[in-house]
Amino acid sequence: MPSPRRAAAPWRCRTAIGWMPAEEATVEGRVITVFAAKGGCGKTTVATNLAVALAAGGTRSVCLVDLDMSFGDVAIAMQLFPTRSIADAVAMRDKLDEAGVRSLLTPHSPGLDTLLAPLEPGDAEKIPTAVVSEVLSVLRRSYDFVVVDTPPDFKDWVLAALDLSDVYVLLATLDVPALKNLRLTLDMLDLLGYPRESWQIVLNRSDSKVGLHLADVEKTLKVPIAAQIPSSRAVSMSINRACRSYWSSRTTRSVLRSGPSQSNGSRAASPRAPPRRQARAPAQRPPHAGASP
């Protein structure tokens, strides 16, 4: 875990995409939630690789959070053996601070820590949504980036993470059910008032020869595809080698090029941008929430 709130050089700060004036940076880190409403689209693959790429060998501080509470795969994907998990945050409810959250983390590599899913699937239901919000709020004060892996469902934890997110990485693959679910997801994000400039649509396995093409996808979704990831053995190998990132810096930059606070990614000198959500009554669930495929 990095030291709390590093003081930035007064004139410029190191960011995810280069150097920028300190006055353009924000105090808090950026929360990036990776989501797809259909299972197996590659959420864990993208979240783990993105986290490794962002940490860049310790250049930046990143915490990867596994909110797939019942069937989280981050630990296995990154070959980690946790003794504590997000379930242990419940006992510290309402008084979580950086030291408390730090005690729950499992380190992965320089710059990259993880907060893993409960060790017992049954513990998932015991975790109140408010605890998830509390944990994420503490983490984003401590890290340059908080990357959130999610289950394929609009669980309340997912909605809590979306609420706190600066960037929404939304995945689809080249099949009609995945695209249908992504379309529903985009409608929901619109309904909730999450700004479109924060959406990053990523097409995974984009080279699959299944009769659907990028142009069809963009036409169906009515939004541009920010990044494409081909099917590759390197992807599975990145998992088998404890997640050595296969992401190119171009893909990482593409994911970071969104969000209201404009891609700075470092916590530094000036206050955070206003909340991302544009308008929504608190705790209102969307019509499709819970309707997982």
Ligand X SMILES: Nc1ncnc2c1ncn2[C@@H]1O[C@H](COP(=O)(O)OP(=O)(O)OP(=O)(O)O)[C@@H](O)[C@H]1O
Residues that bind ligand X (CB under 6 A): 36, 39-45, 68, 73, 152, 204-205, 229, 231-232, 235-236, 239
Q: Is 204 an interacting residue with respect to Mg ion (CB under 5 A)? A: no
Total count of residues recorded for the chain? 293
CB of 37 to Mg ion, least distance (A): 13
Q: How far is the CB of 194 from Mg ion (least distance, A)?
A: 21
Separation of alpha carbons 130 and 116, rounded Å:
17
User: Pairing mode, if any, of strands 145-149 and 62-66?
Assistant: parallel
Nearer to Mg ion, 52 or 92 (CB): 52
Minimum CB–partner distance for residue 47 and ligand X (Å): 8
Exposure class string for 263-284: b at 16+ Cβ within 10 A, else e: bbbbbbbeeeeeebbeeeeeee
**At its nearest, how many Å lie between ligand X and the CB of residue 183?**
17
Quote the least distance from Cβ 9 to ligand X, whole Å. 38
Question: Are 212 and 219 a contacting pair, CB within 8 Å?
Answer: no
Q: CA 116 to CA 18: how far, in whole Å? A: 30
User: What are the two backbone dihedrals, phi and then psi, of residue 224, each rounded to the nearest 5 degrees?
Assistant: -75, 150
The one of ligand X, Mg ion, none whose footprint includes residue 128, by CB under 5 to 8 A per kind, is none
| Closer Cβ to ligand X, 68 or 166, answer by number | 68
Q: What DSSP designation does 130 have?
A: H
258 binds, among ligand X, Mg ion, none (CB under 5 to 8 A by kind): none
- Work out what residue 41 binds among Mg ion, ligand X, none; the CB cut-off runs from 5 to 8 Å by kind: ligand X
Interface residues for Mg ion in 41-60 (CB under 5 A)? 43-44
The phi and psi torsions of 138 (rounded to 5 degrees) equal -65, -45
Q: Find the Cα–Cα–Cα–Cα dihedral 88, 93, 95, 101, rounded to 10°.
A: 30
Contacted by 40, from Mg ion, ligand X, none: CB < 5 to 8 Å by type: ligand X
Helix (H) or strand (E) segment spanning residue 17: none
Binder of residue 276, out of ligand X, Mg ion, none (CB less than 5 to 8 A by kind): none
Told to check if 238 binds Mg ion by CB under 5 A, we report no
Site for Mg ion in 61-120 (CB under 5 A): 73
CB of 206 to ligand X, least distance (A): 8
d(CA 218, CA 220): 5
User: 278 contacts which partner out of ligand X, Mg ion, none, CB within 5 to 8 A by kind?
Assistant: none
Binding site for Mg ion (CB under 5 A): 43-44, 73
